[in-house]
């Protein structure tokens, strides 16, 4: 894709902590087309936020981008000077955060903060700034914008604050808006309104949106394309229909079956992904999902699967893929979701003599 506005190639971001090197993002590549809405889904610690922070140039000590390129409209952001980066950040790429209260200055009026974002970049003619701030607030559906603009953040409700943050983000007509869990702190009714707002703004302004979230439902409603991250890597990528209807990575597949759905028949049991995500300092050999995967095979323990095309526009990093899991391992009627539960698995995966368990367990955790 040469017409992409953002192209991330082999991005790796690590954190150098007292306990060791946390490999938070490893070899992540993706691209965003103009006006596109892309969701990055994953659980906490999967690297989705660190990816966004890397793109924004906001990774601070002890973190460091250790490799890769972030091409924004043909220029590598990682090679820019601080000054040049600052000119792009907030002007061409804007970001909105999970907690609008802590990302706004409590002692400055909301209007002033929106104005400031515009003055900082000189993209909007100075005489239009104040008028535009009111228009923006109205555009994000804050009623009585002309009065509201003179209020302080604490006088806004949570939903209103997030709207004001979005107005601030949009003030310089960015080409790309990165929304990091923008609705997580909000009630569902407010969440729905914010998502609808983002959808409308995408259509009206043509700004591409990267939505970072752990909530699969939110992605299904807003995004056209989805990246699924696990343990610092992209494990699957595809259109929203592909990801939700024919996921090929066992993690995506399991995740979709582990959340209760409001429209589901009652009485069915949730599929749970047993175990925990891996320690990012001490990663497992082979596929990073293998310790929790019901469909793992011998190869998964040793070799890390590359992300490969599995269907038009769909990519997955898996040696098995769900297509094979359905055909050969009976994934359709699987109930037991413990690692290696499906038939045709690595033989050492399941059976461990019961008598050995305490000794084996006591060992890796001993002081």
Partner 1 sequence: MTDTIVAPTAQVTPTVEPLLRVVNVVKHFGAGGGASVKAVDGVSFAIMPGETVGLVGESGCGKSTLGRLITQLIPVSSGEVYLDGVDITKLRGEKLRQQRKQLQMIFQDPYASLDPRMTVGDIIAEPLVNFAMIKGRAKDVRVQELLRTVGLNPYFNNRYPHEFSGGQRQRIGIARALALNPKLIICDEPVSALDVSIQAQIINLLEDLQREFELTYLFIAHDLSVVRHISNRVMVMYLGRICEIAPSEDLYTSQEHPYTRALLSSIPVPDPRIESKRRLVELSGEIPSPLNPPSGCRFHTRCPIAQVPGVCADVEPQLELKGDGHLAACHFSEQVRTKIAIVN
Partner 2 sequence: MAVVTTPIFEEYAGGTIAREQVGLWRDGFRRLRRNRLALAALVYLSILLLIAIIAIFWTPYNPATILPNTLTYLPPSGQHILGTDELGRDLLSRMMQGAQISLIVGVGTSAIVLTVGVVVGLIAGYFRGWVDTVISVFINIFYGIPGILVAIVLYLVLGRGLANIMIAISATAWMDMARLVRGQAFSIREREYIEAAKASGAKSGKILFGHILPNALGPIIVQATFVIPIAILTEAFLSYLGLGIPSPLASWGSIASEGYAALPLEPYMMLWPAVALSLTLLAFNFFGDGLRDAFDPRQRR
Chain contacts with partner 2 (rule: CB under 8 A): 19, 274-276, 279, 281-282, 284, 291-292, 301, 338-339, 346, 348-350, 352, 354, 356-357, 359-361, 363-365, 367
CA 260 from chain centre, in angstroms, equals 20
CA–CA separation, 254 and 343 (whole Å): 16
Q: Which is nearer to partner 2, 203 or 282 (CB)?
A: 282
Say if CB 198 and CB 26 are below 8 A apart.
Answer: no
254 touches partner 1 by CB under 8 A:
yes
Instruction: Identify the residue among 189, 333, 353, 354 touching partner 1 (CB under 8 A).
Output: 189
Q: How far is the CB of 256 from partner 1 (least distance, A)?
A: 6
Quote the CA–CA distance of 73 and 161 in Å, as a whole number. Answer: 31
282 binds, among partner 2, partner 1, none (CB under 5 to 8 A by kind): partner 2
Any contact of residue 305 with partner 1 (CB under 8 A)?
no
Strand pairing of 308-311 and 314-316? antiparallel
Contact segment (CB under 8 A) with partner 1 among 108-116, 202-210, 214-222, 308-316 equals 214-222
- 196 vs 221: CA distance, rounded Å: 9
Query: What are 338's two structure tokens?
Result: 């413990």
Nearer to partner 1, 80 or 256 (CB): 256
What's the rounded Cα separation, in Å, for the pair 79 and 83?
A: 11
Residue 218's binding partner among partner 2, partner 1, none (Cβ under 5 to 8 angstroms by kind) is: partner 1
Q: Kindly state whether residue 290 participates in binding partner 1, applying the rule CB under 8 A.
A: no
152-177 burial string, b = 16+ CB within 10 Å, else e?
Answer: ebeebebbbbbbbbbbbbbbbebbbb
Residues near partner 1 (CB under 8 A) are 43-44, 157, 159-160, 187-189, 191-193, 195-196, 214-221, 240-241, 244-245, 254-256, 258-264, 266, 269-274, 276-277, 358, 361-362, 365
């Amino acid at each position: 894709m040469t017409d992409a506005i953002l192209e991330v190639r082999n991005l790796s971001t690590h954190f150098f902590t007292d306990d060791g090197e946390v490999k938070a993002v490893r070899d992540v590549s993706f691209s965003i087309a103009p006006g596109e809405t892309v969701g990055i889904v994953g659980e906490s610690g999967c690297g989705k936020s660190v990816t966004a922070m890397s793109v924004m140039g906001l990774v601070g000590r002890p973190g460091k981008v250790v490799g890769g390129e972030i091409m924004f409209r043909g220029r590598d952001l990682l090679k820019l000077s601080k000054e040049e980066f600052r000119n792009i950040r907030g002007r061409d790429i804007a970001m909105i955060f999970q907690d609008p209260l802590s990302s706004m200055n409590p002692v400055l009026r909301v209007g002033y903060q929106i104005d400031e974002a515009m003055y900082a970049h000189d993209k909007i003619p100075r005489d239009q700034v104040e008028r535009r701030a009111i228009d923006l607030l109205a555009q994000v559906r804050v009623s009585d914008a002309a009065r509201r603009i003179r209020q302080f953040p604490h006088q806004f409700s949570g939903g209103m604050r997030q709207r004001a943050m979005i107005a601030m983000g949009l003030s310089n007509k960015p080409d790309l808006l990165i929304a990091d869990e923008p609705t997580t702190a909000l009630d569902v009714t407010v969440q729905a309104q914010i998502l609808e707002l983002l959808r409308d703004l995408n259509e009206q302004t043509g700004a591409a949106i990267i939505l970072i979230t752990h909530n699969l439902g939110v992605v299904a409603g807003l995004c056209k394309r989805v990246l699924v991250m696990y343990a610092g890597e992209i494990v699957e990528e595809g259109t929203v229909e592909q990801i939700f209807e024919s996921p090929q990575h066992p993690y995506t597949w399991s995740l979709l079956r582990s959340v209760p759905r409001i429209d589901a028949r009652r009485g069915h049991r949730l599929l749970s992904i047993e175990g925990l995500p891996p320690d990012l300092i001490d990663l497992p050999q082979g596929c990073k999902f293998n310790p929790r995967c019901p469909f793992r095979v011998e190869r998964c323990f040793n070799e890390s699967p590359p992300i490969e095309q599995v269907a038009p526009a769909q990519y997955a990093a898996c040696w098995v893929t769900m297509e094979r899991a359905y055909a050969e391992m009976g994934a359709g009627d699987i109930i037991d979701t413990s690692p290696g539960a499906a038939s045709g698995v690595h033989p050492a995966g399941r059976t461990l003599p019961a008598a050995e368990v305490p000794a084996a367990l006591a060992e890796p955790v001993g002081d």
